[in-house]
Structure 1
Amino acid sequence: MNFKKGLAIGLAALGLSMSAQAAEINVGGVVWDPDSVNSFPAAEDFFSSGNIFENAAFQSGDIVNGFGIFDQFNSDVNNVNSFCPGCELTFTFSMELVDFNPIAGNMGTFEFKNLAIDIFVDHNPNYVGTQATASEGTLWLSLLADTNLTGIGTNLGTGSDTGTGSANLSVVGGIAASNFDTNGEAGGSDLVLSSSFQPGGPNGLLKGGFELTGNSIPEPTSIALLGLGLLGFAAARKRKA
């Protein structure tokens, strides 16, 4: 077998291997399939959702602190047992109120700045709906907002707020950073956050839900395998010569 033919076969085999690896990604025990077909945009390969609890803001400069847990990863239904077997994926966040702006009646818009989110994977699951238990484990992904979180709602600044908002986020750290640092969203952001809130959380907190979408990329080991394969073929050719 000549070198060119051997190289072509080897690259094809490596390509199949890389495709198989890309079909399922595992980072710190959190597993997801970027090829999964679910109800998220075709241009993206990652969708997640879960619940949120946060304190209300009443005036400009107020700090909102919140926390929550993921219950869906690239799935249309709750699939915690498959994407985080034997673990839990929780998060904490903070942001500062810029302003509430009335529109009509009890409706208005809102804007928050300096949104920061830390996501943790904990292999000793003990989340009980508190800030403390949401921040345990290994830092899995750290995110900062590229845009202010803006949205619309009712009864804003009353403690009985209801609304929805969104922001673009960039990856700044965590063990899964290399999988989500894609710059694939508008303005070079990595992920898009959409969230909702309403009264009814424990201890006077607001409760709500969120969706985090974007793209994830194959683990660096796939590229390393390709490099090793090419080095192997080069060495074989040199020995034959």
Structure 2
Amino acid sequence: MKKALLVAALGSMAAFSMPSYSAMVSVAGVTWDTEWTDGSTPPIEQDFIGETQFTQWFSTTNDAVGTLGSWTTADTIGNVLASLTGAPAAATGYYLAGAGEYMRINDPAMSIIQASPTGGGAGSFCPGCELTYAFGGIGLNTDNTFDVTDGWVRVYVDNTPDFNTPVNSQAVANSAIGDILWLDLTITSFSLQTGTVDNGFVSAVFEIVGGAAADYFDPKSVAYSGSAFFGTRATLDPNSRYSGGGNGQALANTTAVPEPGTLALLGLGLVGFAASRRRTAKK
């Protein structure tokens, strides 16, 4: 009977401690399908595709991680371009910073309703909230390259939806720093693929070092691409201090993190009880 109890306990532990996976996950109010496919033929699984809108600027102020005080000291893009004297690479003294918002994750139907004062609608990936981000510390070199030694990116869940692009005040820039740190990232690489800093296309890789959603990303990295312009795409405004538009895309692999079975502890308790009874019987 003791053996039967032990076997039953082990069976219970195995049955109820098996991880149960669900493709849909929700972290701090942000929901997405970790096995989403893009609808192509054949379908391609895209765990995480985030489309963003942002505003960026250059300043001689190097923002500390999680701060955007440089908005008030942004310099004109004309002065920034004048600092690009060519090789050899040397620091210009300018740093790139900015703020943005995720407009959708995966399915286009899961878009944030940007005009809504309550954030995402009921069918969005962030109902009643918004997913914002801030970045900074990206040094500009004289040869049109970047120094990412101090580069950082932080993604936030904001339960007081008040961020909009373009960023036209320090208060709006600050509103990108939300209530919950969703992802904390450092910048591994950041380079222009086409154009120059006034109207170019950037490719980058970010490493995830923390945040509420960090454990749902495997590997812990995000591939990023994006572009922004000062003035219009066709005409540079050398007096512009802020980009007139910016769009980006974040790509990553995500997984549904298993939760332990609710009865796993009960199974362990039964095993412990059976072992205790066995030791007692031997005495």
Tell me the distance in 2 between the aligned counterparts of 1:226 and 1:86.
34
Q: What residue number does 1:174 align with?
A: 211
Equivalent residue number for residue 103 of structure 2: 71
Task: Please say if residues 46 and 106 of structure 2, whose CA atoms lie closer than 8 Å, have aligned partners that are also in contact.
Answer: no
Amino-acid identity (%): 24
In the aligned structure 2, how far is the partner of 1:240 from the partner of 1:43?
51
8 Å contact from structure 2 (residues 38, 46) kept in 1? no
Structure with more strand by fraction: 1
* Residues 1:214 and 2:272 aligned together: no
Specify the structure having the higher radius of gyration (Cα): 2
Distance in structure 1 (CA, Å) of the matches to 2:49 and 2:15: 30
- After superposition, the C-alpha distances for 1:155-196 in whole angstroms (9 at most, x for unaligned) are x35xxx11111222111222222223x3x2xxxx52211121
CA RMSD of aligned residues (A): 3.4
Q: 1:112, 1:150 within 8 Å by CA — same for their partners in 2? A: no
Report deviation, 1:28: 1.0
User: 8 Å contact 2:35–2:46 — kept in the other structure?
Assistant: no
> What are the equivalent positions in structure 2 for 1:14-163 lying under 5 Å apart?
15=18, 18-19=20-21, 22-38=22-38, 42=44, 45-56=47-58, 58=80, 59=83, 60-77=92-109, 79-80=111-112, 81=121, 82-99=124-141, 101=143, 110-113=145-148, 114-129=150-165, 130-147=172-189, 149-154=190-195, 156=196, 161-163=198-200
**Do the aligned partners of residues 174 and 30 (structure 1) sit closer, same or farther apart at CA in structure 2, a change above 3 Å counting?**
same
The 8 Å contact of residues 38 and 76 in structure 1, kept in 2 or not, is answered as no
Aligned residues: 218
Q: Aligned equivalents of 2:44 and 2:14: distance in 1?
A: 28
> What are the superposed Cα offsets for residues 29-61 of structure 1, whole Å, 9 maximum, x if unpaired?
111110222269957522211111101462323
Say whether the 8 Å CA contact 1:64–1:97 is kept in structure 2. Answer: yes
How far apart, CA to CA, are the structure 1 residues paired with 2:14 and 2:227?
A: 47
Q: In the superposition, relative to structure 1, how do residues 170 and 236 fare at CA in structure 2: closer, same or farther (>3 Å)?
A: same
Whole-Å Cα distance in 2 between the matches of residues 70 and 240 of structure 1?
57
The two structures have a TM-score, normalised by structure 1, of 0.73
One-letter amino acid matched to 2:161: P
Structure 1 pair 228/217, CA: closer, same or farther in 2 (3 Å)? Answer: farther
1:223 Cα offset (Å): 3.9
Displacement of 1:98 after TM fit? 3.7
Which whole-Å CA distance do the structure 2 matches of 1:116 and 1:142 have between them? 8
Inter-partner Cα distance in structure 2 for 1:226 and 1:64: 51
Offset, 1:4: 6.3
Cα deviation for residue 6 of structure 1 reads 8.3
Q: Does 1:205 align with 2:254?
A: no
More helix by proportion, 1 or 2?
A: 1
TM-score scaled by structure 2? 0.64
* 126 and 35 in structure 1: CA distance in 2 versus 1, 3 angstrom threshold: same
